[in-house]
């Protein structure tokens, strides 16, 4: 395993050795309860008060209360409860507001909403807008501050590093509401900004130790002198009765060591000037590595320890997988909202959707050393070189490239695009192209020196024009001249040769190396829907169902459902007959490669769908009339709800009976299997550049994007198949998909390499 380079310090930080030593000393030698009157307790009490004094120095707060908490979230609760409790006993303004910055950590608006409801305070929780830099709209604040019961802002944003102009905010607030409680989240400011709280009218300021090299579970809250403070935890009266419970002595010892480190003039934490230098070097490295990279922040108003960027053509997950394989830990947006697919912070700043959806946050701490930075920059360059060998970036060199053969799947949210490359001739076809993938596909095709003979759609689209037109224009010099003239779905007008299927129907065909691509009408989802059938070879007509390896049927059959038929150009009755034709044309294990994959099944087959989709089974078994099908299909389509501004859903998910749990083992059991010499095939499904950066010698690398190309081969394996990836997410999806397709003996490694 390569050394981990940790660049996610805005999420949490490692505990520095000196701080860890202070914790161990407190655990073993200075473990007294500060409330005890014996000497051990007296020493613990003295350390706690000394640490409280150091906190005041760090914050620049000679007066006011310092209350030790479990972290910033608890401090936020204390501040909000105190402000709302005070508001209940004061005259209530008309249409009262609880204001917070639109880019604030979700802990703040969620806390405001929660406690306002419990206190039965009917105040609107409203976001203060920000500009494109992330700075608060002071005009909005001036207009609404007078009706505010509390105002919450943050010193430094956790995603972009944007710091607020606290003096300007204070002047605005106090000019329009001199006594309103003002809380400033100072979590990300610690060690990055000079704080002089005594010179401000900030009423509450929560802090968290684990954001700056102390352990998790310790923090503190600053409360300006004279401001109300309502205890949240009652009990034994610790912390002057404001926060009961035995104090966290080891956490406080850690803070003491941290504060002493921060107050050293020539201590181990980098100066602001040095941090700026580190940031610039990272900026230079990233911009050389990714020439099209876009920063999602204004560095002039951001702390130097945070970089937030997006790279056109790459999702945040792809970049995280790449950095992880290189041993560099970064995050996508906020670690506290890892399930969110886009950044609400960047959305609030008005940045384009693609930047919000693909953002990467790189954050280092002030303890970063110059030699670590050297290694980080080297690793970034190595990672990008691996991307270039996958043709995902232009390298400008003639270095060896990973081969691109067979079927490759591309996904953007629920949409699928397919590329098939003939291994012998390097001729290829693109099926169901997507705008957001055009640049990547063009780069891949040119980099691999492929010859595209067709860029095909399986149907016209109700809500957008075909992406194939632009891709075809971009690759026109690569496409053979006889295939330039095409129809509305991209089919070359010169491809008029007919080929016969098992039911004796004849269809136009394209020659693709040793295979054929047939186009057969498949009306239903739309009146122009077609099936594109890829044969295993060029055996003589008629092609048997077993000779059709892949069927690209667009939105006719999706995994777990049938394509919708309530568009103006849909034909529900025609779909009934199209499904029966597919049943005649295809073998049970022919892979159906859809245009949409909403449930992460990758692909499906007639065998799987007939087993799990009762409506389809009745149609194919001729136990349901056309009229009954049309009625049932209308009921299914009625479940779809289209929302303005969102992608149209092309099928209502029915539920397909796939077990929620896949066979899984952890890394310890995998090692036990290896030690026992258990018969198995270990399949690493990371992308080739990830595998090259951190290879597993005992594994076969079949990327998830190419897994469907190898299904027939995997069916023939006589050994149990064990799937592994970076974190276990992809291996879980792959194992579920393969099991759904009828493959047995599939196990995945939960947690993947991350837990090994």
State the sign of the Cα–Cα–Cα–Cα dihedral 177, 179, 184, 190. Answer: positive
The helix (run of H) or strand (run of E) holding residue 754 is none
Three-state DSSP state, 42: helix
Domains of the chain: 19-263 (3.40.640.10), 270-389 (3.90.1150.10), 445-637 (3.60.15.10), 664-755 (3.40.250.10)
Q: Tokens 């397919």 label which residue?
A: 418
Q: Which residue has the higher pLDDT, 640 or 65?
A: 65
pLDDT tens by residue, 370-403:
999 999 999 999 998 888 887 777 655 545 667 7
pLDDT for the residue 412 = 86
pLDDT at 161: 96
pLDDT tier at 335 (50, 70, 90 boundaries)?
Answer: very low
Q: What is the pLDDT of residues 144-165, one digit of tens each?
A: 999 999 999 999 999 999 999 9
Q: Is residue 422 a contact partner of residue 428, using CB atoms and an 8 Å limit?
A: yes
Stretch among 132-141, 184-193, 245-254, 336-345 having the lowest mean pLDDT: 336-345
- Overall average pLDDT of the 237-256 stretch: 90
In 588-720, where do the E strands start and end?
Answer: 591-594, 604-605, 664-665, 681-684, 700-701
336 is catalytic: yes
Return the pLDDT at 30. Answer: 87
pLDDT at 666 over 80: yes
Q: Which of 505, 394, 403 shows the shortest CA–CA distance to 450? A: 403
User: What pLDDT, on a 0 to 100 scale, did the predictor assign at position 272?
Assistant: 93
Average pLDDT value over all residues in the chain: 91
Provide, for the chain, the percentages of residues in helix, strand and coil under a 3-state DSSP scheme, each rounded to the nearest 5.
Answer: 40, 20, 45
CA 490 – CA 468 distance, rounded (Å): 7
Residue 624 CA to chain centroid, in angstroms?
43
Of 162, 336, 377, 447, the active-site residue reads 336
Q: How much is the pLDDT for 1?
A: 54
Which range among 5-19, 291-305, 382-396, 532-546 shows the weakest confidence by mean pLDDT? 382-396
Lowest mean pLDDT among 392-406, 476-490, 502-516, 574-588: 392-406
Q: Which pLDDT score, from 0 to 100, does residue 339 have?
A: 42
- CA–CA separation, 40 vs 33, rounded Å? 8
Closest C-alpha among 201, 131, 140, 211 to residue 164:
131
Residue 661 confidence (pLDDT): 63
**Contact status, residue 689 vs residue 728, Cβ threshold 8 Å:** no
Distance CA 482, CA 247 (A): 80
Residue pLDDT, tens place only, 538-548: 877 788 899 99
pLDDT in tens, 37-57: 898 889 989 999 999 999 999
pLDDT band at 334 (very low <50, low <70, confident <90, very high): very low
Cβ atoms of residues 50 and 199 within 8 Å: no
Cα separation, 708 vs 727, in Å, equals: 21
Give the mean model confidence (pLDDT) for residues 333-341.
45
Whether 625 has a pLDDT exceeding 80, the answer reads: yes
Residues 706-725 have a mean pLDDT of 92
Rg for the chain, CA atoms, rounded: 31
Q: Residue 119 in contact with residue 223, Cβ under 8 Å?
A: no
**Residue 478 DSSP code:** T
Task: Please name which of 661, 640, 638 lies closest in space to residue 649, comparing C-alpha atoms.
Answer: 640
Q: What is the pLDDT of residues 122-131, one digit of tens each?
A: 999 999 999 9
pLDDT digit string, tens, across residues 415-435:
899 999 999 999 999 999 999
Residues 6+ apart with CB under 8 A from 117: none
Sign of the Cα torsion 540, 543, 546, 547 reads positive
């Amino acid at each position: 395993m390569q050394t981990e380079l940790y660049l996610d310090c805005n999420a949490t930080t490692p505990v520095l050795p000196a701080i860890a030593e202070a914790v161990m000393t407190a655990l073993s030698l200075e473990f007294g309860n500060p409330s005890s009157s014996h000497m051990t307790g007296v020493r613990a009490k003295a350390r706690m008060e000394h640490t409280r004094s150091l906190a005041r120095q760090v914050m620049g707060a000679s007066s006011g209360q310092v209350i030790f908490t479990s972290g910033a979230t608890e401090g936020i609760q204390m501040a909000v409860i105190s402000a709302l409790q005070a508001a209940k006993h004061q005259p209530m303004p008309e249409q009262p507001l609880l204001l917070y910055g639109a880019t604030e950590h979700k802990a703040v608006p969620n806390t405001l909403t929660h406690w306002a409801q419990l206190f039965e305070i009917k105040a609107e929780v409203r976001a203060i807008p920000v500009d494109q830099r992330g700075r608060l709209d002071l005009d909005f604040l001036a207009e609404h501050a007078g009706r505010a019961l509390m105002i919450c802002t943050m010193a430094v944003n956790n995603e972009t590093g944007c710091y607020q102009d606290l003096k300007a905010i204070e002047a605005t607030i106090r000019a329009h509401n001199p006594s309103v409680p003002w809380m400033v989240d100072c979590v990300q400011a610690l060690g990055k900004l000079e704080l002089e709280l005594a010179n401000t009218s900030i009423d509450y300021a929560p802090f968290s130790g684990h954001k700056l090299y102390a352990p998790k579970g310790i923090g503190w809250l600053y409360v300006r002198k004279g401001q109300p403070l309502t205890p949240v935890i009652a009990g034994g009266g610790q912390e002057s009765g404001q926060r009961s419970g035995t104090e966290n002595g080891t956490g406080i010892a850690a803070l003491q060591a941290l504060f002493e480190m921060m107050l050293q003039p020539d201590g181990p934490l980098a100066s602001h000037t040095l941090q700026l230098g580190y940031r610039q070097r990272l900026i230079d490295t990233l911009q050389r590595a990714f020439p099209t990279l876009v920063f999602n922040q204004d560095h002039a108003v951001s702390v130097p320890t945070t970089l937030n960027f997006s790279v056109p053509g790459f999702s945040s997950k792809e970049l995280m997988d790449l950095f992880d394989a290189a041993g560099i830990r970064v995050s996508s947006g906020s670690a506290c909202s890892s399930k969110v697919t886009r950044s609400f912070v960047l959305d609030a700043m008005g940045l384009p959707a693609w930047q919000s959806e693909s953002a990467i946050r790189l954050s280092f701490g002030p303890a970063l050393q110059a030699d670590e930075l050297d290694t980080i920059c080297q690793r970034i360059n190595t990672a990008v070189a691996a991307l270039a060998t996958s043709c995902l970036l232009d390298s400008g060199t003639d270095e060896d490239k990973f081969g691109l053969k067979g079927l490759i799947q591309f996904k953007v949210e629920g949409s699928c695009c397919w590329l098939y490359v003939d291994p012998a001739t390097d001729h290829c076809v693109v099926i169901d192209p997507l705008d957001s993938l055009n640049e990547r596909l063009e780069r891949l095709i040119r980099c691999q020196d492929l010859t595209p003979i067709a860029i095909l759609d399986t149907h016209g689209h109700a809500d957008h024009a075909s992406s194939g037109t632009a891709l075809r224009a971009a690759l026109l010099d690569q496409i053979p001249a006889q295939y330039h003239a095409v129809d509305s779905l991209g089919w070359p007008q010169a491809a008029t040769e007919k080929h016969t299927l098992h039911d004796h129907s004849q269809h136009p065909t394209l020659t693709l190396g040793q295979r054929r691509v047939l186009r057969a009408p498949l009306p239903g989802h739309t009146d122009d829907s077609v099936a594109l059938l890829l044969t295993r070879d060029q055996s003589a007509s008629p092609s048997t169902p077993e000779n059709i390896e892949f069927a690209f049927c667009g939105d006719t059959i999706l995994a777990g459902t049938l394509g919708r038929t309530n568009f103006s150009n849909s034909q529900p009755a025609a779909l009934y007959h199209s499904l029966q034709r597919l049943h005649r044309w295809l073998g049970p294990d022919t892979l159906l490669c859809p245009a949409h994959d909403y449930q992460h099944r990758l692909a499906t087959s007639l065998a799987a769908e007939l087993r799990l989709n009762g409506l389809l089974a009745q149609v194919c078994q001729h136990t349901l009339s056309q009229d009954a099908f049309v009625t049932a299909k209308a009921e299914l389509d009625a479940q779809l709800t289209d929302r303005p501004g969102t992608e149209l859903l092309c099928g209502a998910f029915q539920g397909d009976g796939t077990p929620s749990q896949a066979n899984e083992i952890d890394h310890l059991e995998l090692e036990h299997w290896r030690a026992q010499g258990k018969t198995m095939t270990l399949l690493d499904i990371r992308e080739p550049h990830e595998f090259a950066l951190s290879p597993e010698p005992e594994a076969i690398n079949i990327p998830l994007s190419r897994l469907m190309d190898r299904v027939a081969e995997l069916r023939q394996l006589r050994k149990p198949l064990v799937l592994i990836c970076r974190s276990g997410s992809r291996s879980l999806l792959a194992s579920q998909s393969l099991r759904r397709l009828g493959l047995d003996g599939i196990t995945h490694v939960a947690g993947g390499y991350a837990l090994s």
